[in-house]
């Protein structure tokens, strides 16, 4: 332990022997603990008061910037008024209000909103809805899911089965068996292409190959992130999502967009579905739904899917045997309503759209650095790849640490950093962030 960073935990008098941190090298963390003590606007502050630019909007959670008083006050007020409602069989007015608000943001027809507490829960819920739908239609043999390599769909068993991130799967075996994977959409020929590449739509034919191999009658849904986020921002080539939609339509396969990162403006529209002009049957969302202030997620479903499930269970006391103790928690609903007010009043999705060109131009200006091997981006989401140094992920990890020391927090995945600033960031703050990133990368 040395210097300011190493004293974070020591100064706070923390015993670090009990909290097992997720997706973290707990061993390294203990040697060099990094704590945040406060956050405001686009900055985190460490316990010594040093400002660190939040270059990843938390974990893509916080587009409106940190410390939003409106959200905190709404949560406080809600908890004092009604802190909890038993979510099975009872609800509260804000859950209906919020579902209506979200249904207005989603593409037309995606009217039914099921609330959960995280992205992982949203994905597993979406999978169960797909299975229940096919069963309700008398097609219960449709149990196979088609997803993609280099996909991240959360960490619950359904999402892990869909996921194409090697370590997330290997640690636990295959998880649930009923998922097969199409190729991811990163192509060497599309290096340094800003936005959607012109070539690569034919990768969607992988879905047709799965249909040929396994039979359409066995496939429940095709699940993709419109932009694969956590594995480095893999933007779909032009025509790719459209082609997936066509193949799904031809074969009665549901198309699920995992919008946990893209949802709520990251691509410049409310959802990537709108940015790319392709409407899925089911959509997951989480993260920015409360600007990160409360755990929450949701699944938006086409009316017909909802009606099919509900009508088939007309004689049953319950139509869909699924839900969580904290589904539509009053505090989360209050936080989300306050968040949607901010997005609307401050026109933040439009702002993301407007800032995108400047953000991406600035990010792509790093392409002259020798260590940078590819840059991709869309909306307010960008990925920068580095030449590996020794074992895979070593350089990415080192760069992430060096960036933190230099005053920028970003997410790293393998030898890639993901940059996704809050939409409220100013042009000169983007410049400052890029300067810091350049100064770190130039030493590699």
- Binding ligand PMP by CB under 6 A: which of 118, 190, 327, 362? 118
Backbone angles phi, psi at 395, to 5 degrees: -70, -40
- Complex with ligand PMP: residue 275 or 362, whichever CB lies closer: 275
**230 lines the binding site for ligand PMP (CB under 6 A):** yes
**278 lines the binding site for ligand PMP (CB under 6 A):** no
- Complex with ligand PMP: residue 219 or 260, whichever CB lies closer: 260
CB of 6 to ligand PMP, least distance (A): 28
**203 lines the binding site for ligand PMP (CB under 6 A):** no
- Binding ligand PMP by CB under 6 A: which of 56, 62, 120, 327? 120
**381 lines the binding site for ligand PMP (CB under 6 A):** no
**306 lines the binding site for ligand PMP (CB under 6 A):** no
- Complex with ligand PMP: residue 14 or 59, whichever CB lies closer: 59
- Complex with ligand PMP: residue 393 or 407, whichever CB lies closer: 393
CB of 124 to ligand PMP, least distance (A): 9
Query: Could you tell me the end-to-end alpha-carbon distance of the chain, in angstroms, rounded to an integer?
Result: 25
> Judged by CB under 6 A, which stretch of 76-84, 183-191, 223-231, 348-356 contacts ligand PMP?
223-231
CB of 129 to ligand PMP, least distance (A): 15
**154 lines the binding site for ligand PMP (CB under 6 A):** yes
- Binding ligand PMP by CB under 6 A: which of 261, 335, 384, 424? 261
Task: Indicate the length of the chain as a whole number.
Answer: 444
**258 lines the binding site for ligand PMP (CB under 6 A):** yes
CB of 229 to ligand PMP, least distance (A): 5
Which of 23, 96, 11 minimizes the C-alpha distance to 397?
Answer: 23
Which of 406, 401, 404, 400 minimizes the C-alpha distance to 384?
Answer: 400
**152 lines the binding site for ligand PMP (CB under 6 A):** yes
**348 lines the binding site for ligand PMP (CB under 6 A):** no
Q: HEC profile for the chain?
A: CCHHHHHHHHHCCCCCCCCCCCCCCHHHHHHCCCCCCEEEECEEECCCCCEEEECCHHHHCCCCCECCHHHHHHHHHHHHHCCCCCCCCCCCHHHHHHHHHHHHHCCCCCCEEEEECCHHHHHHHHHHHHHHHHHHCCCCCCCEEEEECCCCCCCCHHHHHHCCCHHHHHEEEECCCCEEEECCCCCHHHCCCECCCCCCHHHHHHHHHHHHHHCHHHEEEEEECCCECCCCCECCCCCHHHHHHHHHHHHCCEEEEECCCCCCCCCCCCCHHHHHCCCCCEEEECHHHHCCCCCCEEEEECHHHHHHHHHHCCCCCCCCCCCCCCCCCHHHHHHHHHHHHHHHHCCHHHHHHHHHHHHHHHHHHHHHCCCEEEEEEECCEEEEEECCCCCCCHHHHHHHHHHHHHCEECEEECCEEEECCCCCCCHHHHHHHHHHHHHHHCCC
CB of 339 to ligand PMP, least distance (A): 16
- Binding ligand PMP by CB under 6 A: which of 71, 182, 260, 352? 260
CB of 123 to ligand PMP, least distance (A): 5
Number of amino acids touching ligand PMP (CB under 6 A): 14
**422 lines the binding site for ligand PMP (CB under 6 A):** no
- How many other CB atoms sit within 10 Å of the CB of residue 270? 23
**294 lines the binding site for ligand PMP (CB under 6 A):** no
- Complex with ligand PMP: residue 145 or 364, whichever CB lies closer: 145
- Binding ligand PMP by CB under 6 A: which of 119, 164, 292, 382? 119
**123 lines the binding site for ligand PMP (CB under 6 A):** yes
- Binding ligand PMP by CB under 6 A: which of 153, 181, 184, 243? 153
Name the residue whose CB lies closest to ligand PMP: 119
Residues near ligand PMP (CB under 6 A): 118-120, 123, 152-154, 225, 229-230, 258, 260-261, 286
């Amino acid at each position: 332990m040395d210097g300011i960073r190493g004293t974070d935990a020591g100064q706070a008098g923390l015993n670090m022997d009990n909290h097992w941190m997720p997706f973290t090298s707990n061993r390294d963390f203990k040697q060099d603990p990094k704590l945040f003590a406060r956050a405001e606007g686009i900055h985190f502050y460490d316990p010594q008061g040093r400002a660190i630019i939040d270059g990843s909007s938390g974990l893509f959670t916080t587009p409106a910037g940190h410390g939003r008083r409106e959200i905190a006050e709404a949560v406080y007020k809600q908890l004092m008024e009604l802190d909890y409602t038993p979510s099975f069989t009872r609800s509260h007015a804000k859950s209906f209000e919020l579902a209506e608000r979200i249904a207005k943001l989603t593409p037309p027809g995606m009217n039914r909103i099921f609330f959960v507490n995280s992205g992982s829960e949203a994905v597993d819920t979406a999978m169960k809805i797909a299975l229940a739908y096919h069963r309700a239609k008398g097609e219960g043999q449709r149990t196979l899911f088609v997803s993609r390599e280099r996909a991240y769909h959360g960490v619950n068993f359904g999402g892990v089965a869909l996921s194409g991130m090697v370590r997330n799967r290997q640690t636990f075996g295959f998880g649930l068996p009923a998922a097969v994977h199409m190729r991811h959409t990163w192509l060497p020929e599309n290096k340094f292409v800003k936005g959607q590449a012109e070539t690569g739509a034919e990768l969607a034919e992988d879905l047709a190959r799965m249909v040929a191999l396994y039979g359409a009658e066995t496939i429940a849904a095709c699940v993709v992130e419109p932009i694969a986020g956590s594995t480095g921002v893999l933007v779909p080539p032009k025509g790719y999502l459209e082609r997936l939609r066509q193949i799904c339509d031809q074969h009665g396969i549901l198309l699920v967009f995992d919008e946990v990162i893209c949802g709520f403006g990251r691509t410049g529209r409310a959802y990537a579905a709108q940015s790319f002009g392709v409407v899925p049957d089911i959509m997951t969302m989480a993260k920015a739904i409360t600007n990160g202030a409360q755990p929450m997620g949701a699944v938006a479903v086409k009316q017909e899917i909802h009606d099919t499930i509900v009508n088939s269970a007309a004689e049953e006391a319950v139509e869909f045997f699924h839900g969580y103790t904290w589904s539509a928690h009053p505090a989360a609903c209050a936080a989300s309503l306050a968040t949607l007010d901010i997005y609307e009043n401050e026109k933040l999705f439009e702002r993301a759209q407007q800032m995108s060109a400047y953000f991406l131009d600035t990010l792509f200006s790093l392409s002259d650095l020798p260590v940078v091997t590819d840059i991709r981006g869309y909306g307010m989401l960008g990925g920068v790849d580095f030449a590996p140094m020794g074992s895979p992920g070593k350089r990415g990890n080192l760069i992430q640490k060096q960036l933190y020391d230099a005053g920028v927090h970003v997410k790293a995945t393998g030898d890639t950093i993901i940059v996704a600033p809050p939409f409220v960031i100013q042009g000169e703050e983007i410049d400052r962030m890029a300067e810091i990133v350049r100064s770190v990368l130039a030493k590699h």
